[in-house]
Structure 1
């Protein structure tokens, strides 16, 4: 029996040693890959930085020269109003050349930033100054950078950016780069199909964990099954013949991970791809969840703005009692702000449903109404819902009451 035990121990030890060896070999391969990437990036940075820095250095000089040259050009234009300069008339140059110079300067700086990011990627070092940022701003900026490519292929882009998103702690330039990389991949995927293109981009908050998300979908060719399980690895691409380097998604993956988030995708070959980026916020630590239920959209928007702009609450809404009950079945808010008089199912019906559900029986509820003397309020009060507030609201008093209920 002891011999069998010793044999089992020896087999287990050998298995552990083999697993450790395989892991070590994988780490060595990864280290070798990253070393090769570092060598590539170092050479590329040297070749690119010199001309880019020359452009960045000279662009302000061109701008000053242009400003000084404008009066001279105006004199010529007054004498020869139809004369063109580089195919453009004086009126256009006067109004747009400064912006063109500025755009060139901005593009050159972005190239320099990309090279710098590649060097960080090669070193696997993503140390950055974390600042509060709004992801909608990063998304809008990325769309602007991708607009030329989008226009070239006649691609429509649909935006559905959720208002009043909580801020994240991070680097706006890195988030812009992540979105831009995915947008450009989508443009390429659509261009291969030679069909009317559509890119949809949306943002929002996940109720289950309070993370903000960016979702980008396209109707392109989809991800090839041959690379789908390693799409975020460096140098992995099926677009070598089109000039693809296989670094865009790898860099994006690293940037998202550096922000404590995750990036996932779903794809069906020939049908398109959906990328989802999830990023953590302080919601779970600092902000309570509030559900506003009111059939008046103006009231919902007013309360949402007050609770998100003057406070840092996470706010969801419903336009009637039935929708509210559906949402209460999926998550429990820290406070329910409930109107009484609504179509389909009123606030009294919601109060009764809450009392019947043991999981919601102690839910904090603020009742709102424009008719303090209505008999339904007596029934609500007898059910135990005593926090009743009349419209129109005095916002500061309303916020103080919300703060009290949330923290009590």
Structure 2
């Protein structure tokens, strides 16, 4: 109600005007209740929400989730000018003001926390009217956990693919080993038989040589052939035995390990089997490869085949790090205080501290251009861990790298 003084002639009067404001009060109360509901939803939302001034990218308010995500206090948030904590793209959108009618969305941007670190987030913006002012409500969802889960899923998938490939390789190796082994057995048996036959024939040929002088045998003088043939036969026999050893290692590598982690194995034997499988690669990359296996090592509980896989991976990495064939690679074993150690040392390029800190991360590789997947060392680390051991690296750029496996010795072997 409003009262206005009024003079009419000699009379002093008052003009009263009465208005019905019920509708306005109802509207104001409804607006107040609506803003209070918005405030409660805003405060309790698990997603970070930041209210920005429409057209100016100035922070007006932030909810507790935003405070936790970005590390600023509410006082530090409010009034923050040119808020680039959500990135330039978001700020540019907000500055377009009322043109935002339908809002905006970014599936992934790099948000900047108070300490300068970055966090991958998704941002959705919507124009709202609050306290009779136009603002932009930005809902920010932290994608860190989602990205971690996606990477873990890719890692598991890659391990499954790797396991499937290893199974296929094992099946192929087993088949090839069988196909090679059969004809090689004929070679080994026949070379031994020929060697015995030559010894008997050589006595007769030697008497003939003494009685009649030199003669031709296989296009060469007998005097030369008498020395060459034993060497040739010995070379055939040694080569065949070497093939048999490689085939046996392939068969062992591809054979399913029935004992699993409940069995026990000889570390030196696992190391020598790995070196034998890699003999061709070793000859390709270095002229100085050394194996120093300590005697009397206790057995280790677990899977010898899995440890072979780890040693093969470490030796291959060492070989690939060498600048030329003059550089050395040394594989050594030893025992100390109930533990068995396997060390692979190289005189290669070495690693920086940054690379060394990430070397066992899944998918991290410095050999992407050579087809590296970044899974070898992470899988090796998992294998050693399930054996109750450790896998550590010491490295210096330009000097080389030492990979050190530590495994607990089997209790019976320590008695």
TM-score, with length taken from structure 2 = 0.50
Matches within 5 A, 1:31-110: 31-37=156-162, 40-41=165-166, 44=169, 49-74=174-199, 77=202, 79=205, 80=217, 81-82=222-223, 89-110=228-249
Decide which moves more: 135-144 or 54-63. 135-144
Q: 1:263 aligns with which of 372, 391, 409?
A: 391
Q: Do the aligned partners of 2:249 and 2:277 also contact (CA within 8 Å) in 1?
A: no
Shift of the alpha carbon at 1:144? Answer: 6.0
- In structure 2, the CA distance between the partners of 1:258 and 1:275, relative to structure 1 (3 Å rule), is same
Q: Secondary structure at the match of 1:263?
A: strand
Shift of the alpha carbon at 1:69? Answer: 3.6
**Partner residue in 2 for 1:168:** 300
- In structure 2, the CA distance between the partners of 1:116 and 1:249, relative to structure 1 (3 Å rule), is farther
Matches within 5 A, 1:360-399: none
Shift of the alpha carbon at 1:276? Answer: 1.1
**2:406 paired with 1:275:** no
Q: Do the aligned partners of 1:77 and 1:83 also contact (CA within 8 Å) in 2?
A: no
**2:274 paired with 1:238:** no
Shift of the alpha carbon at 1:188? Answer: 3.5
Q: 1:82, 1:233 → 2: CA distance?
A: 64
Q: 1:268, 1:17 → 2: CA distance?
A: 37
Shift of the alpha carbon at 1:30? Answer: 2.3
Shift of the alpha carbon at 1:204? Answer: 2.9
Q: Secondary structure at the match of 2:395?
A: strand
Q: Which runs of 5+ in 2 are unaligned?
A: 1-35, 49-63, 70-140, 206-216
Q: 1:181, 1:110 → 2: CA distance?
A: 16
Q: Do the aligned partners of 1:199 and 1:219 also contact (CA within 8 Å) in 2?
A: no
Shift of the alpha carbon at 1:154? Answer: 3.0
Q: 1:24 aligns with which of 149, 157, 169?
A: 149
**Partner residue in 1 for 2:349:** 221
Matches within 5 A, 1:148-163: 153-155=286-288, 157=290, 159=292, 161=294
Which protein is bigger by CA-based radius of gyration?
2
Shift of the alpha carbon at 1:271? Answer: 1.4
Shift of the alpha carbon at 1:89? Answer: 2.6
Q: Secondary structure at the match of 1:89?
A: helix
Shift of the alpha carbon at 1:54? Answer: 0.5
Q: Do the aligned partners of 1:74 and 1:90 also contact (CA within 8 Å) in 2?
A: no
Say what the alpha-carbon RMSD is for the aligned residues.
4.7
Q: Do the aligned partners of 1:158 and 1:201 also contact (CA within 8 Å) in 2?
A: yes
Shift of the alpha carbon at 1:240? Answer: 5.5
Q: 2:163, 2:303 → 1: CA distance?
A: 23
**Partner residue in 1 for 2:28:** none
Shift of the alpha carbon at 1:135? Answer: 2.9
Shift of the alpha carbon at 1:104? Answer: 0.2
**Partner residue in 2 for 1:329:** none
